[in-house]
Chains A and B, each alone.
Chain A
Amino acid sequence: MPISVKTGSTSSGAVTINDFVVKFANVNGSGSASANGMFAKSILRCGVPVAARNIFPSNIQGLPTWFEVRVTEAGHLGRRGGVDLMVAMNPQTWDRDVAEIEAGGFLFYDSTKPLPPSKFRDDVTVIGVPLTAMCNERYQLPRERQLFKNVVYLGALAALLGVEPAVVETILAEQFAGRQKLIDANIEALHMGVGYVHEHLAPIRLQVRKADKVGDRIYVEGNSAAALGAVYGGATVCAWYPITPSTSLAEAFTGYCEDLRTDPDGKARYAIVQAEDEIASIGIVVGAGWNGARAFTCTSGPGVSLMTEFIGLSYFAEIPAVIFDVQRGGPSTGMPTRTQQADLLGAAYASHGDTKHPLLLPADPGECFEMGALAFDLSDRLQTTVFVMLDLDIGMNEWLTKPFAWDDSHNLDRGKVMTAEMLEAGADFGRYKDVDSDGIPFRTYPGVHPSKGAYFTRGTSRNPYARYSEEGAVYVDNMQRLLRKFESAKALMPKPVRQDAKRKTTDGVLYFGSTTPSMLEALEMLEGHGRHLDAMRLRGFPFSDEVYDFVAAHERVFVVEQNRDGQLRTLLMNEGEIDPAKLVPVLHYDGTPITARFIAGEIGQLLALGQIEAAE
């Protein structure tokens, strides 16, 4: 067995407990994802929160992929930035991986093949474990050698960081439940890693200690949570077309429906169609919505672009539809496996002509579930397309989030539907008549009554009784009613979440979605430097009056978002007629999740600049 390379002591410096970042650099397709996931889960089982993120290429096999685990007893679930322990398993990216380690940090690598000293850094502690040699000695099949290498490093890391091997064993047993041979083989590989550390190395100063900070929270991807929300929201028709990063939402919906919506005789209380493209997907959703079923599609920016014609039809003909937009880096094909919040304007104003559409803005998987269900009530109530705006960071990463909860007394809101009884009783049915002055008309489901309630749905202009009309006054009247309806939507949107600074301040900050954990951490950091800001998290569009009141009550409002053009800022300016000078953009859009360091740095700098100006 080759000798491991050891430079420096593995236990130098002050011990850091439950607050560090471990990053795994792997080659995709090597089976590392499952081992890395178990690493994160092991720490959770120690009662210590983690924030884990996949950083992966648009590729199936052979390209670099990273998995970042932030161990955070304080519960900061945003991406921190910087790496304390790099598990460098990919020679292709070695140099940049090594460069990324914080001074005084650690480099873990496969020491089977000796590397020249120039490949290391003096200010980083190097931990070598001859993973390949160990696996080649123990296993015969190439695939086994490859896969168990991941489990051996899992064991080594557990021993280095002070995680009890028994915790990892439990997770392995859950992972491979029912396949005892596989469990035994994995536990053996785990202990090869543990044993090597005990024999040749020592625990490092980054340590995991048992805590009680996870509580009853669950660990789940936003896409899966949103899919479960769709089940609870009563969705029966799902039409979709595969696109990263939304594919796993449709797949999760399929899984949950098989589990929760299948009759004892195997019959399905749902219908899922993988359509030929995004246009057909939304077409199926619109057809099902027209016919009284709750229907959705899930997609990403390129899909929304393709769907815009139908979104306009849904707006104008007033047909319920739900679209989960799991945003990725745009424009065009952009960065398919990177995250952004850059579809906000595209979704809010999708399609030609004067249109606008309600948006829900979940900040974590818990809200993906809630808003995933709520979207169906809203789209039925408002008879229009409702978007649920996830992004890759929330959608495809497992987040620690509040447990799913459901109020069994909640009745699904099917909106204003005129029944056969109402028609029989002589109700005057005008499909586009504003009977309640809220801009929301009644609709009927096809087939409702033998002689009443039928109408012809069209994307052309028509009068309140759904009859074709090109009269200017009739058209304007209808467009005004649609505006009233959008105004009615305001009250139905989830309220913004306000967090006031500890001291009175004239500075505010607006943010939404996956920016949330980093924003909250940044506020703590800024407060530590004596910078105080009132904060408001937006959860829906159209914006409620609280949002405009918040802006009015502050002299300067930072708008933090993950796109180049300040799309939330534009929406605020456009819809609220807010003076652009008042809204200061803080923009992060390189495709990686925004960090607290970035936000605090940017806002801190802007505040300091402001002070200089004031002093002058």
Chain B
Amino acid sequence: MTYILKPQLHHPKLATNNLGFTRRDYEGSVSTLCAGCGHDSISSAIIQAVFELELPPHRIAKLSGIGCSSKTPDYFLGASHGFNTVHGRMPSVLTGANLANKDLIYLGVSGDGDSASIGLGQFAHAVRRGVNMLYIVENNGVYGLTKGQFSATSDKGSKSKKGVVNHDAGIDLVGMALQLGATYVGRSFSGDKDQLVPLIKAGLAHKGAAFIDVISPCVQFNNHVGSTKSFDYVREHNEAVNRLDMIPARSPIHVDYAPGETVTVTQHDGSVLSLHKLAELYDPSDRAQALGFLQSRQARGEIVTGLLYVDPEAGDLHDALDTVATPLNELGQADLVPGSAALARINAELR
């Protein structure tokens, strides 16, 4: 049995949010991943983000595919419904779930094996349809559960633990998401919670297809010299373009940075993104510039992180389909079944 329940006892002085939930209320069962795994840091960042956003846990649906990363939804948000689907197919299942009930918040968790190989097509199509979701790829550049094969995001020239050199070009999911029309795109590092938590918060508040690529080193199989996804490599080559503060819709807006260095973006739900610029001239509202910037930095071996693109006015798939305000799964018989009178008319037309 790899399923271990956490004790439900809380420290009596544990801080609560305005909903009365402690951080523990957003946790799940005990992680079965390796000690030091970057994925556990991401789970922890998700817990913190949802706690700080004061979201009722049951209003979130968490979906994943197959792999180490896809196991993690069991380890956070235990009071949320979760769905560990099939390999590479989480995007379609999430799309269907979202069509059924537009009122829940959809969190898709996947890995580089799940999303960049078998699931590359589904990733692309869910993004281009503008499904309202936050899609997180926990990207370690390696197949952990099957012990160390290269994944499709491994950089060309990167070395495996056994010393094999990867000769295939790496797939950059951030570049793809931008090209496919994602309306919120970020990249972060599992080791940088200060950067990651606000990115997750803003992504959850975003309406439309939000995507965050989180470089998450695999301590067992991809943390050695020669890997471009090791803790050391990512720390050394991380180039953050901005620092994000995310202010939820109902909070008073307070920005720390001096004017001139900071851009504020108000999202659809009223949440305010305060972006402290780190790279001169980087404009996260310019999709084409973002793509160019990323590619030029990537050529130099740098890993660009931060909020890379956001369209605060984006719509979603339900807007495109012009569906009713009521979630489809709540429509009753009278809304759904036209009844015998309509059949009489149809029958007459078929004679």
Contacts and interface: CB of A to CB of B under 8 A. Distances in A.
A458 B66 CA distance: 10
Interface in A559-596: none
Interface in A276-303: 276-277, 279-293, 295
A64 B324 CA distance: 46
Given A219-B350, A266-B322, A290-B93, A457 B99 contact: no
A464 to B, nearest CB: 13
A291 B58 contact: no
Interface string A30-59: 000000000000001000000000000000
B51 to A, nearest CB: 15
A598 interface: no
Interface stretch (B74-82, B168-176, B224-232): B74-82
Contact of B99 (A284, A404, A408, A450): A284
Given A284-B96, A291-B61, A412 B337 contact: yes
A416 to B, nearest CB: 16
B24 to A, nearest CB: 13
Interface in A452-484: 454-460, 467-471
B321 interface: yes
Given A454-B79, A457-B82, A471 B125 contact: no
Contacts of B92: 239, 275, 279-284, 287
A231 B101 contact: no
B335 A405 contact: no
A288 B331 CA distance: 14
B346 A458 contact: no
B340 A454 contact: no
A411 B337 CA distance: 10
B171 to A, nearest CB: 18
Interface in A155-203: none
B85 A446 contact: no
Given A283-B89, A291-B329, A469-B1, A459 B84 contact: yes
A268 B322 contact: yes
A456 B77 CA distance: 10
B314 interface: no
Interface in A257-279: 260-261, 263, 266-273, 275-277, 279
Given A287-B96, A293-B328, A405-B343, A272 B321 contact: yes
Nearest to A232: B337
A334 interface: no
Nearest to B93: A287
Contacts of B100: 236-237, 287-293, 295
A243 interface: no
Nearest to B351: A218
The bracket for how many chain A residues form the interface is: 35 or more
Most buried by A among B85, B92, B322: B92
The bracket for how many chain B residues form the interface is: 35 or more
A217 B343 CA distance: 13
A548 interface: no
Interface in B316-343: 317-318, 321-325, 328-329, 331, 333, 335-340, 342-343
A232 B334 CA distance: 11
Interface in A203-247: 216-220, 228, 231-232, 234, 236-237, 239
Contacts of B56: 450
Nearest to B349: A218
B121 interface: yes
Given A236-B336, A469-B1, 19 more contacts: A271-B328, A276-B122, A276-B125, A280-B121, A283-B89, A284-B93, A284-B96, A287-B85, A287-B92, A291-B96, A445-B101, A445-B329, A446-B58, A447-B61, A448-B58, A451-B79, A455-B82, A468-B3, A469-B3
Interface of B: 1-3, 56-59, 61, 63, 73-74, 78-86, 89, 91-101, 103-104, 121-122, 124-125, 129, 317-318, 321-325, 328-329, 331, 333, 335-340, 342-343, 346-347, 350-351
Interface of A: 44, 216-220, 228, 231-232, 234, 236-237, 239, 260-261, 263, 266-273, 275-277, 279-293, 295, 309-310, 313, 403-408, 411-412, 444-451, 454-460, 467-471
